[in-house]
A and B are shown apart, each in its own frame.
Chain A
Amino acid sequence: MLRTSAAIIAGKTLRYAARLRGGGSALPGLVAERVDPQILARTLASVPGGIVVVTGTNGKTTTTKMLAAIIAAHGKHVFTNPTGSNFTRGVLSAMLGEIGLGGRLQADVAVLELDEWHALQFAKLVTPTHALLLNVARDQLDRFAEIDTTAKLLATLAGQTSQVVVLNRDDSFVFRIAEGLSGKEIRYFGVDPEIADQVPALNEADVRFEDAATPPPPTTDDGLLHPVDTRDFAIRFGPAEQVGPLALRQRGLAAMVNATAATTMARAVLGADFRTDLTEAALRTVTAPFGRGEVIDVDGHPLELVLVKNPAGFTVALSTYGAEPVATMIAINDDYADGQDVSWLYDVSFASLREHGVAMTSGVRAYDMALRLDYDEVLVEQIEPDLAGALDGFLAAYRGQPTRIFCTYTAMMALRKLLAARFGLAGFAQEGE
């Protein structure tokens, strides 16, 4: 116990210091982890209602936010890692703010967003009761190397989960995980077969096997997304139970799929306490997390910031926003957090931008982006690698009109800082505000 307290004090002190500097969210957790690596296990063991891990390539942050909101709406105290720092250390950092020196976490349920690799490291320390596996897509290939490897990481995590595993029935990398599982309940989320033709845009092709595998027919515990129109949708559990119809604050099919995943998991966690009306109310109020279709008011006109990280994500973003074309800028950096290999831009079709063109490309790889667009016959008005110059030029040229910027991670961080300074948006430059 003494060691745990020392770790907590060390972590808390650093957390306070980091806050004063306005700095990153993972460092204090790193310190606590050094002092006592078992701190996670001990503290989370006291959470009675379940330890839920959300992982997968795309949609983790959105889904985690929705899931936490739904469970909280049912009167539970939810511990979550809201900063989007989806590492074990990020969990520790968040935890340090919520526990007393005795090491007790005041929470009924823990809902944790972890990337595929850290989810597995986490499971070595703490057994998750529930795991929600969203999808497997190519992302920063220089880091995880192979999409098949990612699928294996998720399968291992599912095997280490004690009670319920929720799988995506439209992603064969994910639903095939059920084949190797025993001794736990398996539930699925997915889209209604009537919109199945839109699914390939969301998921990667799985070429690992000769046969075309199919998931089992849905049960009344499996949530199916039933879109009404581009904004309204319902989630159905068999013929008798339905959440919605409702509209999310965040746009697009991907967000609806995330809501379906979150609802299916919430229902598994809450059991008999689950209520559709509370779930609907929670989903209606969840705002877009950092960088996922945020809208900034620029002199009374909306500027949308859209984070793009990988081919599947960029393709979905283009199809989500394609129905409402506005002046567009694309900013591509190639730091570690962006993905250093920009090859992935060639796995995205930009044909939907052809009619209206692209006003500006920017970032370190501005010319590579313009070249990519040229090969899709998309006209680019201006190329300015410097983000500040590009942002000012873009907003000046389209003053009084709605605008949209697709950007990679570090480009987004820089643009947020610039926008915060230009438009006096307090705290906007920081993640997780």
Chain B
Amino acid sequence: MKLTGIKILILVLVAICAISLIVPRRYFWNPIKGTAAMIIAPAQKVLNTSASSVFGFFSTISRISQLAKENESLREERDKLLSEKVKLLEDEKENEILRQQLNFQKKNPFKLVPGQVIAKDPTNIQETFSIDVGANDGVKESMPVISSGMMVGKVSEVGPTSSKVLLITNPNSIVNGMLQESRAYGLVRGELGYGLIMDSIPQDTKINVSDLVVTSGLGGNYPKGLILGEVTEIISKQGEIFQSATLRPILDFNKLELVFVILGVE
């Protein structure tokens, strides 16, 4: 059999794949992926930015009437939030005085690094995306990723100039969550299609639709108090020890453009 250039190339590629199946991912595949990402990331960034502005423009045009209604309801919400803000500022001052009196340490702010979303997975099988910050910016595997104070996911792969983020909605993601109202703990799992489900909630816990679920800080993987989503449905069966709840993430993960990686506390 005559070996043409293409056949040799295919054999080389098969050999690469075979080696990658045997040798641990971090020693063989990850450096190759990191280098490829470093070369391709600038092109991805340019294309993604242009596509996002073009599609954003058309999406705005097609939703003008809906946006007008949304604007009206947001104005009402803003007025409501303004009065709440005044109350919260008063509470904060009071809290500060009490902390000083009790000699409590102030909560440390996070050390963040901003990252722009540059690409998504080629198919929707794995809910992941790439950001333009990597090991050179201090990013390490498993670091939490947030946006507007809400939990987005964790860093799953790190290259020199880019990283991959595994969303909390990935079916393989598990986060320790807590219902903000009742303070009950549970496990928040991802579901395909940007959904979340919180299970292992004690049966005697009172859950209401639209209750907020935040990270509990248990396990030490994620900081406490980051919003995971709001309850949309309660699944409770008599005779079972635990109940569960379906959550809706408040962030639209499909439209994320800028995220922050938590490097640590300052």
Whether chains A and B associate is: no
